Amino acid sequence: MDHVLTPWVAQAGRKAPVIVRGEGSYLYDDAGNRYLDLSAGLVAVNLGHGHAGVASAIGEQAARLGYCAPSLGNDTRSALARAIAEIGPWAEGARVFFTTGGGEANEDAVKFARAMSGRHKILTAYRSFHGSAPGAGSLTGENRRWPNEPGMPGIVRFFAPFPYRSPFHTRDANEEVDRAIAHLEEIVRYEGGERIAALLIEPVIGSNGVIVFPDGYLKRVRELCDRHGILLIFDEVMTGFGRTGEAFASQRFGVAPDILTFAKGVTSAYVPLGGVAVRESLAKFFDAHPLPSGHTFSGHPVAAAAGLAAIEAYRNEGLFARARVVEGWLRSRFDALAERHRIIGEARGVGAFFGLELVTDRDTREPLVEWQGGKTLHSLFGDLLARGLYIYGRYNVIVVSPPLTIGEAELDEAMTIFDEAFAEFAKIPKAG
């Protein structure tokens, strides 16, 4: 680890376990310790670790053809694009452009939207993460964009609904939606609807709190975009491939975007792969206009083979729908956990995608640490890891996104660890 730079943290003094093997919902380090992976890596390993079908497909493709230039046709690449179009939200079909990750996909989606619309401005939410490279980092709304500033021009931000911590000063979900849409309409009015190419949004806000929008919000965003000729882009990097209980969150919520981006779960994270899916009626634009993007590894055959095998596994094992079952398991367990630990202000989520909002006071909803503040919950996350639970989170929110293959016994194991860690954390004297 001495020669590896680790994302988002100061490098000195890090003592992370060295993971050497994975099986199902578990990771194993070089000392033989086992960790329950309750975040599926980074909301990515949807099939769990060590899926034989995906591993076999990777090896077979590498032996047959390890690389093919994107300008040439490739059978595996074409088959994966067709499979994604078939499971996507559009009856009319779609075309797919492949990237190596989600941030790159979001950058390309914006380029496509600008080319197709002839407009320049892009709307994104403040509580959002769309990648960390200079372009995707500019699209991001939260503080991980700051190192990229001044960044890519033409990005306009807005506040999206967050019922638990309303930016619109209400605790009524319907009023939250009304005020959020009125706010968005005003942003469009001030920026000029005819100048806005696209609105980019995560259908469930991911690493910024796992925020599920109130009923009706995404539908009304779709209607607003239609009124102004704005293309709607869903960033489904986290929510795609079964995470919410459908192939894509757009299907779970019944709102079809014009473009969606994906990564992570497309190969169950076994090989880096991302992409942009464009509904067919819009993709036809590029029949007469050059596509304004290209990457050396676009549609890499080995990654495409992994994607094909992953989609086959999702279908054959019924995993697109299984997250609805996992959702019930998580809700009941988190309700019980919250009864025992007042540190949990809210447990919210959809499918196999939940967030635990940690607070100092349930009545005032004061966060345990300030969002985007200087303090973090390293001690709590470290204790969970020491007890055998790997979990991802930011500031005062724990992100629970287990492999779709997880069982109830494994969730019970996780709840026992949460119980112990929260009880121990409550004993620590708090400053002030």
Comparing C-alpha atoms, which of 335, 140, 353 is closest to residue 244?
353
Mind listing the pLDDT tens digit for each residue in 280-316?
A: 999 999 999 999 999 999 999 999 999 999 999 999 9
Mind listing the pLDDT tens digit for each residue in 315-371?
A: 999 999 999 999 999 999 999 999 999 999 999 999 999 999 999 999 999 999 999
pLDDT for 430? 61
Spatial distance between the Cα atoms of 245 and 336, rounded to a whole number of angstroms: 23
Spatial distance between the Cα atoms of 244 and 233, rounded to a whole number of angstroms: 18
Q: Can you give the pTM of this predicted structure? A: 0.97
Q: Is the dihedral of CA 130, 245, 397, 5 positive or negative?
A: negative
Mind listing the pLDDT tens digit for each residue in 71-82?
A: 999 999 999 999
Domain boundaries, the chain: 19-50+318-426, 52-316
Mind listing the pLDDT tens digit for each residue in 76-106?
A: 999 999 999 999 999 999 999 999 999 999 9
CATH number of the structural domain 52-316 = 3.40.640.10
CATH number of the structural domain 19-50+318-426 = 3.90.1150.10
> What is 354-395 written as a DSSP string?
EEEEEEEETTTTEESS-TTSS---HHHHHHHHHTTEE-EEET
Distance set, CA 194 to CA 39, 106, 198, 228, 379 (Å):
41, 22, 11, 7, 49
**pLDDT averages per 10-residue partition of the chain, 432 residues:** 84 90 98 98 98 98 98 98 98 98 98 98 97 95 92 96 96 97 98 98 97 98 98 98 98 98 98 98 98 97 98 98 98 97 97 97 95 86 97 95 98 98 85 48
pLDDT for 154? 97
Angle in degrees, CA 182, 186, 191, rounded to 5: 150
Comparing C-alpha atoms, which of 254, 235, 17, 274 is closest to residue 130?
235
Comparing C-alpha atoms, which of 377, 326, 353 is closest to residue 265?
353
